[in-house]
């Protein structure tokens, strides 16, 4: 910040301050520019950012460091606590009292010390480098002994500063920019400095967007950060981003739609931030806007997630993506990295100043929020009952990560409640072992946001998914009750400790969750022969459903100490059992043809510039981390240079493949000779309307004519629409992301284990009417249920469309995934559906 009109009195005063501070030993704290010669001119290396913070830590009493983990590539994740030395000494006592006062811990604190807690998150998107660069300047301004103003804020405020949430993405971008930078700047658009190569630095190692992952916590960076977040529960969370470089600065208030559960104090604080920050930007003559973009709805962002945890969650955006070191903007100005740092620094410091200035109100509002959460939950439903099912295991993991409290029923009760799967009130009984989640708890709002069947959208112009109810995502039979359920509960499911039998005829492994797939993968890696069940059957108490796995002793005579070895291999899957005889009590025997051998997939996944990085990343992450199974990855450009017969499974993630005729022919040959291809979303265009495939948008001329008639009608009715309504018009033809009911062919292996129905997350307006000569395994019925926003025109077209289909071609087959079951990795039933495609569809 500049002081243009210092009078001589002020100068003397400043001199006195300087003298005082120099005597105290902390007079000369180096700014980032003093420490890093290229600061503001070139992107910093990640180790330089670490080094600067280490320097600050060693030269100031106002900062304390905590490492909270490591990225996939082994880079360190860090936060820095910035406050007065006295506050830092009492950090634990302040934290204890804070958590105690909102009911997040029963532990009585040693002292009652209240401070505002402000968490600053920088650079969750790796290529938005102005963010991490400005974190150093922000820290410096807070610590600089000569800046007495910031010291006053720190009297009543604890700043938790995370310089870079995504060091792997930051380094991918930064190392590349360094690599291609010459001595001269080239702000003109044509230079490669402004065109980042695939997959880009925005995402993390597995090409996951960490700013869509806050609630789902699929990624290691998020998981480790959220442990710390829940230890602190900040009152203010600032999420620092960048966007296209021609955009002026964006700060709160956020745009509509706000989720219904955002409170008035939260909205009010947004407005105060808007007023305070705009004054600073007006004084500097900087361009900015508020309220037009970046809504508060989808719960997994760095602004919404903190908001549903009681905080003031805010996104800050500076133009900068693709700007490199300097870029010429449309208005003729040159935007430099230094400009980006300057804007962020002023905006973020204003957030700290505002929080400090309103400390008392912030704390009072925060406490009231949590009191309300415990005593008066906002939503329609007060208790959620999740039926005991193999899929509950992963749900429990996710709830724990979010500190959502739950328990398991310890008695049976007859009740009636809203049944998610049929969208109706229904009588049912709670059985011992069912999961019980009460809405009245500290994390009440988050719980209700995640479990509400219908989210309330104040405006349809949102750019993300609009439905995410966990019972549909996990595919578990669930109920919601309007009144709080009083029932005896216990903390854990009773797990029967396994007594290993001396002899087993076979091991039975239920096919019901991601662990089933992981176990199948690990058995196949060890050359264990595994069978899966193609019909329902029973062996005494053990009921086998289609898809369940069987490991026969007679198939595995080479396995030493069969019983002991198998028990070891199955340790992770606690619901397996031992079958003592192959003679069935119902259905067919284990030796018969209904128990088919699993084929070990040899998988090739295509990557490269025409493949969507995040969708590619979801497949890679599923292979590498969820089931831990090898996958070969090859740039699509090299297709045709390798022997596809080395593989038996080809995966084409969502993308805009630009393949030559001979490359397409190599895929055709691969399939017809017995290969399996899984094509997701836009990869389907490689097969659409091509000879040899039955993939076509309409199966009959009547369907084609009806669609044409509808679009003609739409064109006629929209003739009198105003120009300014164009954006709205495009909304009525699209779907940002909604849940759609699908009927299953329960006898097809692609549907095994999914339940009675499949609720698919639809994120694209591309649709195919139920296909001819193909197994339409999951399709949208004529009068379908849906949750979330679907444009009115599109909604009429989705009846009788297919979501997942299998087409036999020659000796092989192709699996069409019109929707992406691996979307952001949180659709747990989608993970299982993908596992079916990989292992069970043969
Ligand atoms: Zn961003």
- 242 CA to middle of ligand 1, Å? 5
- 225 CA to middle of ligand 1, Å? 17
Burial of 325 by CB count in 10 Å (0-12 exposed, 13-18 middle, 19+ buried)? buried
Which residue did the predictor score with more confidence, 116 or 792? 116
Q: Which of 20-29, 107-116, 203-212, 226-235 has the lowest mean pLDDT?
A: 20-29
- 322 CA to middle of ligand 1, Å? 12
**What is the pTM (predicted TM-score) of this model?**
0.95
pLDDT for residue 5 is more than 50: no
pLDDT digits (tens, 9 = 90+) for 318-342: 999 999 999 999 999 999 999 999 9
- Please give the mean pLDDT across all residues of the chain: 94
pLDDT digits (tens, 9 = 90+) for 134-146: 999 999 999 999 9
Percent of the chain with pLDDT over 70: 95
pLDDT for residue 17 is more than 70: no
- 117 CA to middle of ligand 1, Å? 23
Mean pLDDT computed over 769-787: 97
Task: Give strand pairing partners of 606.
Answer: 634
- 116 CA to middle of ligand 1, Å? 26
Confidence category of residue 86, pLDDT binned at 50, 70, 90: very high
Q: What is the DSSP letter of 840?
A: I
Note the pLDDT of residue 693.
Answer: 98
The CA-atom distances, in angstroms, between 488 and each of 151, 388, 410 are 52, 16, 5
Please give the Cα distance from 560 to 582 (Å, whole number): 21
Note the pLDDT of residue 565.
Answer: 95
Note the pLDDT of residue 140.
Answer: 98
- The answer to whether 745 and 776 have CB atoms below 8 angstroms apart is yes
- Nearest residue to 253 (alpha-carbon basis) of 233, 238, 241, 268: 268
Confidence category of residue 16, pLDDT binned at 50, 70, 90: very low
Please give the Cα distance from 759 to 170 (Å, whole number): 36
- 316 CA to middle of ligand 1, Å? 9
- 167 CA to middle of ligand 1, Å? 14
- 120 CA to middle of ligand 1, Å? 14
- 526 CA to middle of ligand 1, Å? 42
- 121 CA to middle of ligand 1, Å? 11
Q: Is the dihedral of CA 29, 35, 39, 43 positive or negative?
A: negative
Burial of 790 by CB count in 10 Å (0-12 exposed, 13-18 middle, 19+ buried)? buried
Please give the Cα distance from 152 to 134 (Å, whole number): 21
- 315 CA to middle of ligand 1, Å? 9
- 144 CA to middle of ligand 1, Å? 28
- 617 CA to middle of ligand 1, Å? 18
Ligand 1 is an ion; residues with CB less than 5 A from it: 125, 128, 241
Q: Supply 594's token pair.
A: 């209904």
pLDDT for residue 18 is more than 80: no
Please give the Cα distance from 832 to 77 (Å, whole number): 32
Alpha helices in 74-201 (DSSP H): 85-89, 91-101, 129-143, 148-155, 167-180
- 125 CA to middle of ligand 1, Å? 5
- 123 CA to middle of ligand 1, Å? 7
pLDDT digits (tens, 9 = 90+) for 265-277: 999 999 999 999 9
- The answer to whether 454 and 377 have CB atoms below 8 angstroms apart is no
- Nearest residue to 532 (alpha-carbon basis) of 573, 519, 676: 519
- 194 CA to middle of ligand 1, Å? 17
Note the pLDDT of residue 722.
Answer: 76
Mean pLDDT computed over 508-518: 97
- Sheet of 577-579, strands arranged across: 577-579, 506-509, 549-552, 531-533, 595-597
pLDDT digits (tens, 9 = 90+) for 548-589: 999 999 999 999 999 999 999 999 998 999 999 999 999 999
Rounded (5°) CA angle 445-446-450:
115
Confidence category of residue 715, pLDDT binned at 50, 70, 90: confident
Note the pLDDT of residue 347.
Answer: 98
Q: Is the dihedral of CA 476, 478, 484, 490 positive or negative?
A: negative
- 243 CA to middle of ligand 1, Å? 6
Mean pLDDT computed over 594-602: 97
- Neighbour tally for 442: CB within 10 Å: 23
Contacts of 475 (CB under 8 A, 6+ apart): 391, 754, 755, 758, 759, 828, 829, 832
Q: Which residue has the tokens 């018009």?
A: 729
- 128 CA to middle of ligand 1, Å? 6
Alpha helices in 625-772 (DSSP H): 661-672, 701-717, 726-731
Mean pLDDT computed over 79-90: 98
Q: Supply 131's token pair.
A: 């963010």
């Amino acid at each position: 910040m500049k002081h243009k009109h210092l009078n001589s009195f002020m100068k003397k005063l400043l001199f006195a301050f300087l003298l005082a501070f120099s005597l105290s030993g902390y007079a000369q704290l180096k700014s980032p520019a003093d420490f890093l010669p290229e600061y503001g001119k070139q992107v910093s290396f990640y180790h330089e950012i670490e080094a600067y913070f280490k320097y600050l830590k060693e030269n100031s009493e106002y900062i304390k460091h905590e490492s909270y983990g490591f990225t996939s590539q082994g880079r360190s994740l860090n936060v820095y606590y910035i406050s007065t030395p006295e506050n830092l000494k009492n950090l634990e006592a302040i934290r204890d009292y804070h958590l105690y006062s909102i009911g997040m811990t029963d532990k009585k604190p040693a002292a009652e010390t209240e401070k505002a807690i402000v968490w600053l998150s920088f650079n969750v998107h790796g290529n938005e480098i102005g963010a991490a660069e400005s974190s150093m300047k922000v820290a410096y301004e807070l610590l600089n002994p000569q800046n007495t103003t910031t010291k006053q804020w720190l009297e009543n405020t604890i700043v938790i500063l995370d310089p870079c949430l995504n060091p792997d993405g930051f380094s991918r971008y930064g190392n590349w920019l360094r690599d291609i930078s010459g001595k001269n700047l080239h702000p003109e658009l044509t230079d490669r400095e402004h065109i980042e190569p695939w997959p880009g630095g925005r995402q993390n190692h597995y090409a996951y967007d960490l700013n869509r992952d806050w609630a789902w916590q699929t990624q290691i960076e998020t998981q480790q950060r959220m442990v710390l977040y829940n230890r602190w529960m900040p009152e203010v969370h600032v999420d620092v981003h960048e966007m296209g470089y021609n955009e002026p600065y964006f700060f709160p208030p956020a745009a509509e739609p706000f989720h219904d559960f955002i409170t008035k104090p939260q909205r009010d604080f947004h407005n105060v931030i808007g007023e305070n920050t705009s004054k600073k930007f007006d004084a500097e003559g900087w361009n900015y806007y508020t309220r037009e973009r970046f809504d508060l709805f989808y719960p997994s962002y760095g602004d919404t997630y903190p908001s549903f945890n009681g905080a003031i969650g805010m996104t800050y955006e500076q133009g900068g993506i693709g700007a490199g070191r300097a870029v010429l903007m449309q208005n003729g100005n040159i935007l430099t990295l230094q400009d980006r740092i300057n804007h962020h620094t002023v905006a973020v410091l204003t957030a700290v100043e505002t929080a400090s200035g309103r400390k008392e109100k912030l704390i009072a509002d925060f406490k009231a929020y949590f009191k309300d959460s415990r005593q008066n939950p906002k939503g329609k439903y007060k208790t959620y009952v999740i039926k005991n099912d193999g899929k509950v295991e992963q749900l429990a993991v996710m709830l724990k990560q979010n500190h959502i409290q739950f328990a398991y029923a310890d008695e049976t009760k007859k009740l009636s409640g809203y049944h998610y799967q049929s969208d109706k009130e229904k009588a049912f009984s709670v059985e011992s072992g069912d999961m019980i989640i009460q809405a009245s708890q500290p994390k009440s709002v988050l719980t209700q946001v995640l479990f509400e069947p219908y989210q309330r959208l104040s405006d349809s112009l949102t750019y993300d998914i609009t439905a995410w109810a966990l019972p549909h995502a996990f595919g578990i039979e669930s109920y919601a009750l309007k009144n709080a359920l009083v029932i005896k509960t216990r903390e854990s499911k009773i797990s029967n400790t396994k007594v290993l039998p001396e002899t087993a005829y076979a091991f039975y492994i239920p096919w019901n969750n991601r662990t089933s797939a992981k176990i199948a993968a690990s058995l196949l890696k060890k050359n264990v022969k595994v069978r899966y069940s193609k019909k329902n059957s029973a062996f005494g108490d053990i009921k086998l459903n289609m898809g369940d796995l069987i490991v026969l002793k007679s198939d595995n005579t080479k396995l030493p100490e069969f019983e002991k070895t198998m028990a070891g291999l199955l340790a992770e899957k606690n619901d397996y059992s031992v079958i003592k005889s192959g003679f069935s009590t119902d259905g067919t025997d284990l030796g018969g043809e209904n128990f088919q051998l699993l084929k070990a997939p040899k998988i090739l996944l295509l990557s490269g510039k025409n493949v969507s990085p995040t969708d590619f990343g979801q497949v890679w992450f599923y292979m590498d981390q969820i089931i831990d199974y090898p996958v070969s990855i090859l740039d699509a450009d090299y297709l045709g240079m390798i022997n596809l017969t080395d593989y038996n499974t080809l995966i084409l993630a969502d993308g805009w493949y630009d393949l030559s005729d001979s490359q397409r022919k190599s895929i055709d040959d691969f399939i017809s000779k017995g290969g399996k291809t899984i094509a997701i979303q836009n990869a389907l265009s490689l097969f659409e309307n091509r000879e040899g495939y039955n993939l076509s948008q309409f199966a009959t001329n009547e369907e084609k004519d009806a669609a044409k008639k509808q679009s003609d009608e739409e064109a006629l009715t929209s003739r009198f629409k105003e120009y300014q309504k164009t954006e709205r018009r495009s909304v009525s033809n699209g779907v940002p992301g909604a849940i759609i009911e699908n009927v299953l062919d329960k006898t097809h292996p692609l549907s095994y284990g999914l339940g009675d129905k499949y609720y698919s997350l639809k994120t694209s307006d591309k649709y195919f009417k139920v296909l001819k000569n193909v197994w339409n395994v999951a399709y949208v019925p004529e009068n379908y249920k849906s949750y979330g926003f679907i444009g009115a025109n599109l909604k009429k077209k989705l009846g009788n469309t297919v979501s997942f289909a299998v087409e036999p071609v020659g000796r092989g087959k192709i699996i069409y995934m019109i929707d992406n079951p691996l979307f952001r990795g949180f659709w747990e039933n989608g993970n299982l559906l993908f596992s079916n495609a990989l292992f069970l569809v043969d």
